[in-house]
Structure 1
Amino acid sequence: MGTHTDINQQYEFSGKIKTWSLIAIVIGVVGVLYGFLIDPSDIAVQRTFSNLLLMSYYFACVCIAAVFFLSYQYLAQAGWSASLLRLPQAMAKVLPIAAVILVVVIVAGLFTTHEVVVDGVKEHAPYLYAHWATHGLTDPASANYDPIIAGKSGLLNIYTFLGLLLLFLIAYTVSGLKLVKFSNDEDERGGMFNYNKSFKVAAIFLLIFGFTFPVFAFDTIMSLDAHWFSTMFGWYNLAAMHVSGLAIIVLFLIYLRKKGYMQWVSQDHLHNLGQLMFGFSIFWTYVWFGQFFLIWYANLPEETVYFYKRWEPEYKFWFWLNLVLNFLAPLLLLMSRDAKRLTARLKITAIILIIGHWLDYYIMIMPGTMHYHEGHTPHLWEQFGIQEVSIAVGFGGLLIYLTLSALSKFKSLVPKKHPFLDESLHHHI
């Protein structure tokens, strides 16, 4: 495999990690089939769609986070990260698949309907986005007419909704693939030509991303509770997306180093990644608290309805556990300088954050899609059952399989002619 100075090192995707990732994918497929076919009850199908949305959104977000990471590294002209860019580049190469899966799940959830009873009247509503996509909500002549949804119909209609979703995902995907292409071309040609093009693409991406990602989060997640709105919700999602992506990059790097690859990645590099995980976990908490406190203090019914749902008995414990996992854990585990230099500590923190932000997305999505019978508080196994576990495992396996497959396609595990590579190979703080 070579030494830490062997920049021609290439990753070989084989062994247990490949086998286990394939097994995890099969588990995910079985979980989806169970929800749709083996237990075809309405609540099981609804849970399956909800979990597919949760994990496809999570999957797409961590791949977008990789493009985000690459872009701000280029725009900052950062030297420390040059030797580890192949990993987020591999995740960026997975984004087209993640984007397709997300679109397929959303389209299926929008156009697959089931019978619901509203005020004693039977209606057909989609499994996803029923709050605004149910027939008749924007028609004044309909018994279902909702003036609030009608007022938002310029954005919350199927054509605009899907058009924006596709537009955003294409923009993020093209940007990520361009950054990968220019890096590969840089290895072939050398010089500053491709680096300068990467710098320009990164600047354009960050400009587009800053304006569009909040809208992407509004459409995909916030519109599940279409009466509610928060101008902080997009930044809250951005923080969650970034922390999750960083945690996954850290776990991949620790795994690769353990297997003898990328030995040039030192504790100093991991320290920097630990700082980013810690800092953006605090930022996530800042936005979480700002959104929660302002809505609690104002006590306006159209705003408090969001948190009222999440304080019902079936969600209240998970609501507060979310804060423990995503704020207290990184705060206590990574606050000191030395803690960020301990591989085992970083690994544990990254795992906690990945689970924590899965729970974060769970709390964002499930109260807006799952509707239990009035007066019925679901048991733990009704909230976290076969679909939740198997679909999460399946998407985890898919991310590992596709990322490491993409990584193995690079001719070397380091951008050999990156202008700041020498700085990164000798990085010390």
Structure 2
Amino acid sequence: MFEFKTKTKQLAIALTLLGAILWVVGFALNGSSSHDAGHGHDAHLTEEVHIDARYDAHAEEAHDDHSYGLHTEEADEYPGEAHASMIAAYGSDQVNEVHDTHAEEAHADHIDNSEDTYHTEGHNAHDSHAAHQIANRPWSALYVAAIFFFGLGIGQLFFLGIQYVAQAGWSAGLLRLMEAQSFTIIAPLLVIAILSILGFGHVHHMFHWMAEGIHIDGHDNFDPIIAGKRGFLNPTFFTIRILVYIGGWVWAAKTLRKYSLMSDTGDGVLMWKKNRGVAAAFTVFYAVTSSTSAWDFIMSIDAHWFSTLFGWYTFSGMFVSSFAALIFLTLYMKGQGLMEWVNENHLHDLGKFMFAFSVFWTYLWFSQFVLIWYANIPEEVTYYMQRFEQYKVPFFTMLVLNFVLPVLAVLSRPAKRIPGTVVMAAVFVLVGHYMDHYVMIMPGTVGSHYGFGLVELGPILFFAGLHIYVVLSSVAKAPLLHKNHPMITESKNFHQ
């Protein structure tokens, strides 16, 4: 049985605390720099307004005094007589020409003033949007990490359910690790839910569809496209869906774990059958919610854009990442001298799953990209244009890490049976899919104001510490061997 040692606990807690501190410090630094930039801009605008006011007052005074050299006090008092005398003195053609010139200049001044007003208002709107994007960065970094670590848990929860539904025997010796990893969904889900609630309160502006008045015709923020999606993207229904996700997923994780532990002291076959029923219900539930949650959590950030492949694409990334995390956990337990029934054949199968779903993820990525690129529909291609123009380095680095390197690393059969090679591929996958979530989320929330600093590093360490603590605590609470599982003998003797 695994013992969660004090030093390991302290390390996990230290990572969590360090991550929280780094994020708070980064948040404060981001807020102060954003405030200073905004304050400086406001002062600049105020100065421009005063200059324009002085210029307008001076121009008006000059116009009243001189009136282009043609108006006099007498003309102001007797406009009809003054006009007649001007015609007599200068001729009607010259007077009319002067009047036409006045009209043209007045019209030009009006256009210039209108353009200045338009550009000033547009400039102010742009700066307001940029300020929101800068302010979004700490929240977005926290959100990216929450989504990524949530994927490590939900992917293994789904895989755990599949083992029961498919009546798999080879994996019976690994089920306790899958159960432990499944419990890591709780903390990220709570963070995701809290961030959503804060969005409703306009604490951050990550979700454009949550903006005040976005659905109200005539409001300054009115968006007809988002208004057309109000039936789905509204606070009430969104909150209900999140509660349904949390309820269904957490119920499945806890119930599968409960019957698994009961089998150690009871009828293993009966508990296995109960878990099979739970798993069957969960896999159907997850088949739907894996897509709808991807729409809610990620795709709704770019509320004008949509892709029918997005749910599958997001699922595949989370699924393959969860295999990478399971490989680390399995080899860690082997390194502790535990789980002697797990051999190179089990590692080979885990490597095959990671390899296969890396290819599957790439297939979905290419399918989504090439269809949008070939169709060249403006409202679709803008999604990739922004990423090509502003996120070129992380975008293409992510492709290399998620496909090229892991596939080359574990392409051959012998490579999948070498722990060091499989671990290297797992590192590529984890880093690559964090970057994938980064590229999916950050362009819609921070635009070009992205980077990697304290606010990005902090949440990674925070959730990594929580992940380690939750997984190892769960593993330490029960025997690693699911001893009364009806197929445990098959797992012990597994070879290929």
Q: Tell me the secondary structure at the aligned position of residue 265 of structure 2.
A: helix
Cross-structure match for 2:273: 196
Cross-structure match for 2:462: 394
Cross-structure match for 1:240: 317
For 1:127 and 1:145, the matched residues in 2 are separated by 15
1:59 offset after TM fit, Å? 1.9
Q: How does 1:76-155 map to 2 (within 5 A)?
A: 76-113=166-203, 126-129=204-207, 131-155=208-232
Cross-structure match for 2:380: 303
Q: Which amino acid aligns with 2:351?
A: G
Q: Which amino acid aligns with 1:352?
A: F
Q: Report sequence identity in percent.
A: 39
Q: Tell me the secondary structure at the aligned position of residue 9 of structure 2.
A: helix
- 1:72 is aligned, of 140, 144, 162, to 162
The 10-residue stretch of structure 1 (247-256 or 390-399) with the greater mean CA deviation from structure 2: 390-399
Give a deviation string over 1:268-296, Cα, whole Å, max 9, x none. Answer: 10100000000000000000000000000
- 2:443 is aligned, of 356, 359, 367, to 367
Cross-structure match for 1:315: 391
For 1:68 and 1:211, the matched residues in 2 are separated by 12
Change (3 A) 1:160 1:266: same
Give a deviation string over 1:189-242, Cα, whole Å, max 9, x none. Answer: 124211111111111111111112111000100000000000100000000010
1:38 offset after TM fit, Å? 4.5
The 10-residue stretch of structure 1 (94-103 or 297-306) with the greater mean CA deviation from structure 2: 94-103
For 1:207 and 1:294, the matched residues in 2 are separated by 28
Find the structure with the greater CA-based Rg.
2
For 2:239 and 2:144, the matched residues in 1 are separated by 17
8 A contact 1:35–1:47 mirrored in 2: no
1:12 offset after TM fit, Å? 0.6
Q: Which amino acid aligns with 1:300?
A: I
Cross-structure match for 1:353: 429
- 1:329 is aligned, of 405, 421, 427, to 405
- 1:18 is aligned, of 4, 9, 12, to 9
Whichever structure has more helix as a proportion of its residues is 2
TM-score, length basis structure 2: 0.78
The 10-residue stretch of structure 1 (350-359 or 185-194) with the greater mean CA deviation from structure 2: 185-194
Cross-structure match for 1:187: 264
Q: How does 1:242-321 map to 2 (within 5 A)?
A: 242-312=319-389, 314-321=390-397
- 1:35 is aligned, of 1, 10, 26, to 26
For 1:304 and 1:235, the matched residues in 2 are separated by 19
Cross-structure match for 1:422: 489
8 A contact 2:158–2:283 mirrored in 1: yes
8 A contact 1:235–1:287 mirrored in 2: yes
8 A contact 2:160–2:178 mirrored in 1: yes
For 2:403 and 2:228, the matched residues in 1 are separated by 37
Cross-structure match for 2:243: 166
Q: Tell me the secondary structure at the aligned position of residue 73 of structure 1.
A: helix
The 10-residue stretch of structure 1 (234-243 or 314-323) with the greater mean CA deviation from structure 2: 314-323
TM-score, length basis structure 1: 0.90
Give a deviation string over 1:279-333, Cα, whole Å, max 9, x none. Answer: 0000000000000000000000110011011011x30111111110000011101
1:112 offset after TM fit, Å? 3.8
The 10-residue stretch of structure 1 (43-52 or 345-354) with the greater mean CA deviation from structure 2: 43-52
8 A contact 1:79–1:423 mirrored in 2: yes
1:15 offset after TM fit, Å? 4.7
Give a deviation string over 1:107-154, Cα, whole Å, max 9, x none. Answer: 2244243xxxxxxxxxxxx4221x211011111121221110011011
Cross-structure match for 1:7: none
Q: Tell me the secondary structure at the aligned position of residue 483 of structure 2.
A: coil
Q: RMSD in angstroms over aligned alpha carbons?
A: 1.4
Give a deviation string over 1:245-284, Cα, whole Å, max 9, x none. Answer: 1100100111111111212211110100000000000000
Q: Which amino acid aligns with 2:246?
A: L
1:396 offset after TM fit, Å? 1.0
Q: Tell me the secondary structure at the aligned position of residue 189 of structure 1.
A: coil
For 1:139 and 1:177, the matched residues in 2 are separated by 42
5+ residue gaps in structure 1?
1-9, 114-125, 373-377
Q: Tell me the secondary structure at the aligned position of residue 368 of structure 2.
A: helix
Q: Which amino acid aligns with 1:306?
A: Y
1:101 offset after TM fit, Å? 2.5
Q: Which amino acid aligns with 2:494?
A: H
Instruction: Count the aligned residue pairs.
Output: 397
Q: Tell me the secondary structure at the aligned position of residue 230 of structure 2.
A: coil
Cross-structure match for 1:385: 453
For 1:265 and 1:18, the matched residues in 2 are separated by 25
